[in-house]
Every structure is written in C-alpha cells, then in structure tokens.
Homo-oligomer: A and B are copies of this chain.
Amino acid sequence: MSDQARKRRLTSVDVAREAGVSRATVSYVLNDTPNQRIPEATRRRVWDAVDRLGYAPSAAARSLRSGRSEVVLALLPDWPFGRMVGAMLEQLAVALADVGLIFVAHPRAGSRRPVAEIWKAISPAAVLTWDPIEPADQAAMRAAGVKVTVGLFQRGDAGGLAVSEQRTGRLQAEHLAARGHRRLGYAFPDDERVLVFAEPRLAGVRSACAELGLDPPDVRTVRIDRPSAVAAVRQWTAGPDPVTAVCAYNDEVAVAVLGGAREVGVSIPTDLAVIGVDDLPLSAIVDPALTTVATDSGGLAAYLAAAVIAGLADEPAPRYPGSDIVELIVRDSA
C-alpha cells in the first residue's frame, strides 16, 4: 500500500491529475452535468482514472456544497421491535431508494444521548420519529436544514399512527361482538415501552364496546409467561358473569393466554375466544391457530415514503391511511 493511501484522502484533484484534466471536468463527467458537452474520449479517461484510483467523492463536501442531504433518518423508539417493524423499515428503504433517498435508522432513540446529537451527526433531509417531536427540537432541526419531520404518534390521541392502532382494537372487539360475545377481556402487556401502542389499541376496544352496547372490557395485565396467563384466565372465567372472549395486546400475549387456558382447562374458542394483533409467522401454526389483526406494513411504508417525498418537495402531506392498513385475519381461536 502506497504511503499516500494512508496519508491523504483521495480527492478529485488526484483524479484530475491522473486523467490529465481539471477538477471541474472531473465533476462534470461524474455528475453527467447537462449543458456541458464533453467528448466521449475525455469521459472515458476520467472514468478510467476514477476506477483505477478507486475514487469516491466526499459526501461531506458534497452535501456541504449542495446544502442538501439524500439521507432520511428514522429515530427508532425504545420498544422492542420485531418482524413487522423490521419489514416496514425494509419496505420504506426500498420506496425511498426509488427516488434516490437513502434510508437509515438509529435504534434506541434518546436512550443515553439527546436526540439532537444524532441528527446533527447525520444531517439528514428528513427525520422520522415514533414519539412526537418536541417543538424545541423541531425548531432546531429546521434551523439545521432538516426539511421534513414526521412524528408517527402525534401528541394527544388525535392523529398519526394512533388512528390505525385504535382501529386495530375496534376490529378485535367488533369481530368478537359479531360472534355473539358480550363480555370481553383485554390482555394488557407488561412493558411500559409499548404503551404508545397498547393504549390506543385498548382505547379502540373500549370505544367499540361502548358503541356496540357491551360492557367495558375487563382489563388484566398479562406477562409472557405461564403463571401470569393462568392467573388472568382464572380471573376472567371465574364468577357468575365470566368473560367469554379476550382481545390480546399482540400475538405473543395471545399465545400466552392460549397456554394459560390450556393449563386451566378452558377450551379455546368454545369457552374463551382469543384474538391477537400482528399476525406473526407463528400465529398460523400454534394450536389453535390464532385469529388476529394484521397491519399492512407495505401500506404504512408507502404512506411514510410519500409523506417524506411530499415534504421534501414542499407539497402537502398525503392523507393518512388510518383504517385501511389494518385487516382482520380469522383463524380458529376466535
């Protein structure tokens, strides 16, 4: 390895020298700049030099000059994300790549360092968050050149993802009501970090119950273990007016309830119907197969991509696909 390789970064000066042209010409060739007629022979010389040297322009210099970045940054929240989020992020990356944007995600937003540290280090064109963005952060980002900021969960229960999460809960309750259940239980997760999801889902169940004239749901916290599930099932099924169907926060909690019911000797779905959320791969093969509510991660990704792209073009954001991205999947458990 030549000593220059470790000493100095390769710049367009090196390419220009190697190709026997000026830096400007190099830039024109590399960017295929319109309105610059450069003969094929020169182009080839430049590209050859680039390949030979292994030159790559500095992203820093480029974005300093152009004043814009091609990067979209997602600040992932603290909750444990599984398949669905993973899939959604993949699809988002693809959708953004189609318009020339690079998508990256930072896990564990706000854990140790303030969020500002992160977007400052990346200087993205747009930032996506799950938690709502503080007005102060909002302003700082704007000042630093971040054009678009999308908060999936808006403050209050009004907008954003809360809509489809509520819809998810409604779908659970409506399905159970349609099957004739009058007393519903709700299996709430034992993890503070997922409250952003759990609360709107439960709110959806509550409002559906109210509208359909059912009793309010009997909410119990269920951990992903046997004893917890057993206890919850016992409580739901005891007494003179037992719960006959349970909406679970997600499929994992639902499977825990299934296990608890088996242990208690409560048969599913005859004695107790169970419905989950997420449609995990496993949900179709547990016994009995789990009825659940799936979110169309592709649809969500498409919306987010559209929102970012619109924002970058200073156009109004697209309509939020509140309810049409969740879907009921009926199997055997409810």
Contacts and interface: CB of A to CB of B under 8 A. Distances in A.
Interface stretch (A66-74, A168-176, A210-218): A66-74
B94 A112 contact: yes
Given A93-B108, A104-B106, A143 B53 contact: yes
A58 B145 contact: yes
Contacts of A63: 60
Contacts of A70: 121
A330 interface: no
Interface in A108-122: 108, 111-113, 116-118, 120-122
A265 to B, nearest CB: 13
A256 B289 CA distance: 12
Nearest to A104: B104
Contact of A98 (B80, B97, B103, B112): B112
Interface of A: 5, 9-10, 53-61, 63-64, 67, 69-71, 73, 80-83, 85-87, 89-90, 92-94, 97-98, 102-108, 111-113, 116-118, 120-123, 136, 139-145, 224-226, 229, 252, 255-256, 259, 262, 280-282, 284-287
B118 A102 contact: yes
A123 B59 CA distance: 6
A263 to B, nearest CB: 8
Contact of A59 (B122, B280, B281): B122
Contact of A224 (B87, B112, B139, B284): B284
Contacts of A83: 80-82
A115 to B, nearest CB: 11
B285 A256 contact: yes
Contact of A64 (B64, B104, B145): B64
B60 A120 contact: no
Contacts of A286: 255, 259, 286
A268 to B, nearest CB: 12
Given A122-B122, A284-B224, A104 B73 contact: yes
B93 A82 contact: no
Nearest to A105: B105
Given A64-B61, A262-B287, A54 B139 contact: yes
A142 to B, nearest CB: 7
Contact of A10 (B58, B86, B102, B143): B143
A255 B93 CA distance: 31
A107 B108 contact: no
A49 B229 CA distance: 56
Given A107-B103, A113-B97, A259 B281 contact: no
Contacts of A140: 54, 56
A81 B90 CA distance: 10
Contacts of A256: 285
A252 B282 contact: yes
A326 B145 CA distance: 45
Given A10-B144, A224-B281, 5 more contacts: A54-B142, A56-B120, A56-B144, A57-B120, A80-B86
